Chain A
Amino acid sequence: MEGASTRGVLSHLSLLEVQARSRKTQPQQRSRVKELKAEAEALMIQRDKLKAEIQTHERLQKLRMSMDKQCPREQEEEEEMDEDSEDSQLLRLMARHTHLKDLLHAHHLIGGYDIIKTHQGKGVCVSVATSYEGVCLDTYNLEIDLKPKLRISRHNVPPFIPLNSLAEQSNMQTNIRAFLDTLSRHLNAFAGRKQQLKLLKEQHKSVEVMESNVLCSILVLMLTVPREKTAVLCTLDYTDHTRCLPTRVHFDCEDKELPDSPEWKKNCHLLMETPVHTALLTMKKMGNIV
């Protein structure tokens, strides 16, 4: 048939079919050899790449070893390299990078703080872990923008921890490490005090908590002396918010002589030096309180 039908879809399809069949009848061996040659080339390229990587890695190891030795010193001496080229500078930078990464990992392992990059390097997220007496407690996070200057954009630090004034006081802009160390101390101390209050309430039902606050910086307890059943009001002031132990312990009692007695002077000392829940346990054992 002539005309439109010869240029129709079906005829085009049958043309393609004929072409495909003719291709199949060509000798298979030629293509197989080509394939194998291409594979061999690819493998050689890969081998060269791996060789280069091994070389770089070895040089990096050498650099890291010399860096670690120099670590305690503030200034790093310029290491004499075989070729003082761009390559060696790059390697030095890479070594420094792995050094910092290892430091951060070590920091994470000891329960310090984690830092990760966010927003394609435009910011970081710092996670501060808290713990007390081997128990892991809450983790607090801060998202910090890096440009134009360091700025805390988001965080879940409770409002009674003065985050902004801590940032100002420890010069966050120039010394972020000092800021993070101070923050970590405040948060860990708060977590410790909060945990002590929790344990106190759980373990000492006979002791009444008269006053406390969200920051756990003040604690007023009602203690009872056995036998006479005298009530002693015990006030613990935690004015240093970076510490888990009180800065001041005060007893109030109807019996004015009691706070000055040797037993209660010991108790005062105990409460100043040991966490409140363990101090109360000792006081119970010694028969000072119910």
Chain B
Amino acid sequence: ADIISTVEFNHTGELLATGDKGGRVVIFQREQESKNQPQRRGEYNVYSTFQSHEPEFDYLKSLEIEEKINKIRWLPQQNAAYFLLSTNDKTVKLWKVSERDKRPEGYNLKDEDGHLRDPSMITVLRVPVLRPMDLMVEATPRRVFANAHTYHINSISVNSDYETYMSADDLRINLWNFEITNQSFNIVDIKPANMEELTEVITAAEFHPHHCNTFVYSSSKGTIRLCDMRTAALCDRHAKFFEEPEDPSNRSFFSEIISSISDVKFSHSGRYIMTRDYLTVKVWDLNMENRPIETYQVHDYLRSKLCSLYENDCIFDKFECVWNGSDSVIMTGSYNNFFRMFDRNTKRDVTLEASRENSKPRAILKPRKVCVGGKRRKDEISVDSLDFSKKILHTAWHPSENIIAVAATNNLYIFQDKVN
């Protein structure tokens, strides 16, 4: 199994898609809950697997283009088929996933094997009929949106109009229509005329869940810009600018790096945005630009280790963050296969671990604790024992239920809350 690089539930939560470093997409489907076994609430089984992207070679630049899937986003379901967007560094593809459970039989000109029948042997005409067959799930690429990005695509976001979507790379954001693959509109361009003046890049972007004219994008300097596409064709001037003033007491050479935002997500309500930087998760009210309304420390014990984390490049890890369906709980990953949940109402938080060694299937996860001080209690883990190669960068939360998907390197964990 390859390293999982993205996880995403669809809009009903029935399907869960994962993308990996090898360019494959694996879709899981929740099985129907049966009355016979109420305690076995719908589990996720593999529904479809397909190769979305292949490695490419850019001959002009003599560089490989990785097939790693950076993001998957589902389209809302409009007919029997499912549609999703998947992207690597350069190309976005629209995939149609559909079921086939019937097969036409009784052709006139060819027999069941597909071989052509001898016309002289055909004496009667018949109408082919559809007969049931074993369920087959097919994935077909319906659109390929290529050659629009010079830099690496980090985000895609489907607009609430369901007709357009955007793709963002380090310096530009493009707006696409699903039907048109040979054109896209550039709506944000922060590339300086002289590349040597470059000091800031785009790190993530997302459309507002309800207002199809509004989107946000985050930067490597810890700022978020909200743009309104109605104001101008090129949204270089933001409508709102979210930035928290720097805390002078915490200033170090690493301040800028750890302020770089790795993920930005609108709440389901559309009223808030959540951002993830290296050490914290912040919730912002769209109506207040000068500071976040909530700040949660994910792993503040790493603050004194920043130099080492810079040395081994961990400081550049891009963690994602997610809202639960009701926007009351937020979740993000950390190291040592730990992930953290913060309840915004009760202000309680919990650290859990996604690991086979430390939890049996169907057992309730035991909260974990990282000890910072001298005395380590029995179940605690000291900061120096943390495994920094086991990082949870990608997580997803079911849109309406308390089911979460956690990607731990090349393993996918699905957790549900306990039913009494």
Q: Do A and B come from one complex?
A: no
On B, residues with C-beta under 8 Å from A are none
